[in-house]
Structure 1
Amino acid sequence: MTENANAAAAAAQATTAVLIGQSTVQIWGMSSAERLTRQLARAGVKDVRVSAEGLENVGSVVILRIDFAYDQRLIDALATRPGATLVAGGVAIASAVAGRDAQAASGVLASGEAPVGTEILDSEGLAGSYNRKLRKREIAFVIPLNSQSVKDVEARSFAGSYKGVTDFVTKYWWPAPAKAVTKWCAVRRITPNQVTYLGLLLMFVALGMFWEGWYLLGLIPAWIMTFLDTVDGKLARVTMTSSKFGDILDHGIDLIHPPFWWIAWIIGLEKAGMPVAHPELLVWIIVGGYVVQRLFEGAFIRLWGFHMHVWRPFDSFFRLITARRNPNLVILTAFTLIGRPDWGMILVCAWIVLSLVVHLFQLVQAAVESRSRTLVSWLDAA
């Protein structure tokens, strides 16, 4: 980036915000003003005020009506798009203006009008329709905030915290109970890291039980841990309390523990009186398959700039069932319930190998197609 481009980017990033209007509604246990302050902080705007006085020398100022609830993407977009005004239902509700115009613009926005000379945009025009971070198509929400709309706001913000491409357990089984538990935690100010620590404890409990061959008992903390793994991320997103440490902790646990569970499962089979032939081969498949699958996914991102699971519709479908922790846990649970945890592990290993074959074909196909055209995610395609 050139020096002029760097200067332009710095000038475009708002560092100050003004919250106007009134609201007494609580969202996820927070007032509208508190929620917006947290959202603005995530967008890099740390100076939040209730008056536009004294901002004449500030470069860009974001002005927001607090009687509306905003998707985080809209806050992010306003913070880097001076001269834009967000409208919803024909009413202007937020704007990014120069500091010298902030006081006048605040008065205009309070009446639902757009400041003169600003670019009027709806939600899709301001933030687009593809959420790259969560890998899904979704128009950012903006909702008038009142006691009747709180449930809708919380439902939309919770849905907006979900990845569009993930395994079928996370996508179809967990949303309803996870939303209830997330709300319970948010109201009581329980932090995402506290949920993660509980999940970490349960991960070790499950590991020990699998090691001893106590599969039915071990599956209980294992499944609770996978559920809490959904809750902590959703809680962090809806309450805007994510942190670098929490992100590293959560993703580190997710990255490391699954192969150790499966290895413990194999060791436990001997103690449970159901040893498998060539257990060392199964261990090599588990460890090697896990590492190679991650390498394939990393190589795809490095070569073409996006996840292999969002390249084509088939790739997104296969992510639902590929040999990751939750689908593997479903297989092991089903076979344990019929008294054959050994068969379950053999099938998991076979599924790991088959999934690797599919991912290898994805890489090869991408390499071939990229020679004649630029690869684009089907979710991001115009």
Structure 2
Amino acid sequence: PVDALDPYLPDLRRSLRPYWSVVRSGVERRRAARAIMDSAQKGVLDLPARYLHPPFENFLAARLSATPVTPNQITVLTAILAFTATYLFATGGYGWALVLALVTNVLDGVDGKLARVKLKTSRFGDLLDHTLDVTFEFTWYLALGWGLSGGDLRAPLFLVGPALILVMLGTRAVSGVYKSLTGRQIHDHTAFDRAVRLVAGRRNIYVMLLLGGYLMDRMAEAFVLCLVWGIVTLAVYKVRAFMAWLGRDRG
């Protein structure tokens, strides 16, 4: 029976019960379309992805759903824009690089929504999306370090990039340990975890910090702040994993 199904969807990090809708009019069709789009939204996200991106994502996904455009095509387009931002970060074009980074972060949510709305999810698409996401994000930090240091590989500012990448890899590793211990993702196991996820050191948050730094003519300081915030996030995750290991994580 439907009532016996677990409403929690790990991939969406939210509970979502099955529903059906009778469509007899244009109003009912639009209502059903909104319900489908709402069901494609992930539950636990950071502040930009939760409050700023959805209107743009929904607008694009709704219109693209009626076209032959595929989610994987959006993924590739997103990567092209992202790697263009990499070049701009490396060459000192920080303003346009950040514009492309903001667009990239929005489009990164469109391909997944489009796949869910059009029922075109696939393992290949998921692998393509995550592989490109990680790759272009890491190149951003290396390129930014290169640009801010003037290409000096021994300069402290250049080393911030590799350090930030190592911190992010550490965060991913700790998240994996937490999931193996609890069976749940560290992002949404408890109310505390969900609150942390809103501001945790991740790409959307880092881009907002860098944008603030650019507007205040403090790009170097903002880049260092990203690293500091990443270290704080990693420390919090380590504490949560340690609590899980001790068996004190009651959820």
Structure 1-normalised TM-score? 0.61
Q: Once the two structures are aligned, what percentage of the paired residues are identical? A: 27
Q: Do the aligned residues in 2 keep the contact of 1:141 with 1:156 (CA within 8 Å)?
A: no
Aligned residues between the structures: 249
Q: CA deviation at 1:279?
A: 2.5
**Off by >4 Å, runs of 4+ in structure 1:** none
Question: Following superposition of structure 1 onto structure 2, how do residues 121-270 of structure 1 map, counting pairs within 5 Å?
Answer: 125-147=3-25, 148-270=27-149
Q: CA deviation at 1:356?
A: 0.9
Question: Following superposition of structure 1 onto structure 2, how do residues 1-382 of structure 1 map, counting pairs within 5 Å?
Answer: 84=1, 125-147=3-25, 148-271=27-150, 278-369=156-247, 378=251
Aligned with 1:222: secondary structure?
Answer: helix
Q: Distance in 1 between matches of 2:212 and 2:206?
A: 10
Q: Do the aligned residues in 1 keep the contact of 2:181 with 2:244 (CA within 8 Å)?
A: no
Q: Distance in 2 between matches of 1:164 and 1:152?
A: 20
The structure with the largest strand share of the pair is 1
Q: Do the aligned residues in 1 keep the contact of 2:149 with 2:157 (CA within 8 Å)?
A: no
Q: CA deviation at 1:128?
A: 4.1
Q: Distance in 1 between matches of 2:7 and 2:139?
A: 39
Q: Distance in 1 between matches of 2:84 and 2:63?
A: 24
Q: Which has the higher contact order (CA 8 A, sep 6+)?
A: 2
Q: Do the aligned residues in 1 keep the contact of 2:57 with 2:106 (CA within 8 Å)?
A: yes
Q: CA deviation at 1:319?
A: 0.9
Q: Distance in 1 between matches of 2:28 and 2:5?
A: 22
Q: 1:94 corresponds to which residue?
A: none
Q: Do the aligned residues in 2 keep the contact of 1:285 with 1:352 (CA within 8 Å)?
A: no
Structure 2-normalised TM-score? 0.92
Q: CA deviation at 1:235?
A: 0.2
Q: CA deviation at 1:359?
A: 0.7
Q: Do the aligned residues in 2 keep the contact of 1:213 with 1:271 (CA within 8 Å)?
A: no
Q: Distance in 2 between matches of 1:153 and 1:209?
A: 42
Q: Do the aligned residues in 1 keep the contact of 2:75 with 2:111 (CA within 8 Å)?
A: yes
Q: Do the aligned residues in 1 keep the contact of 2:149 with 2:158 (CA within 8 Å)?
A: no
Q: 1:19 corresponds to which residue?
A: none
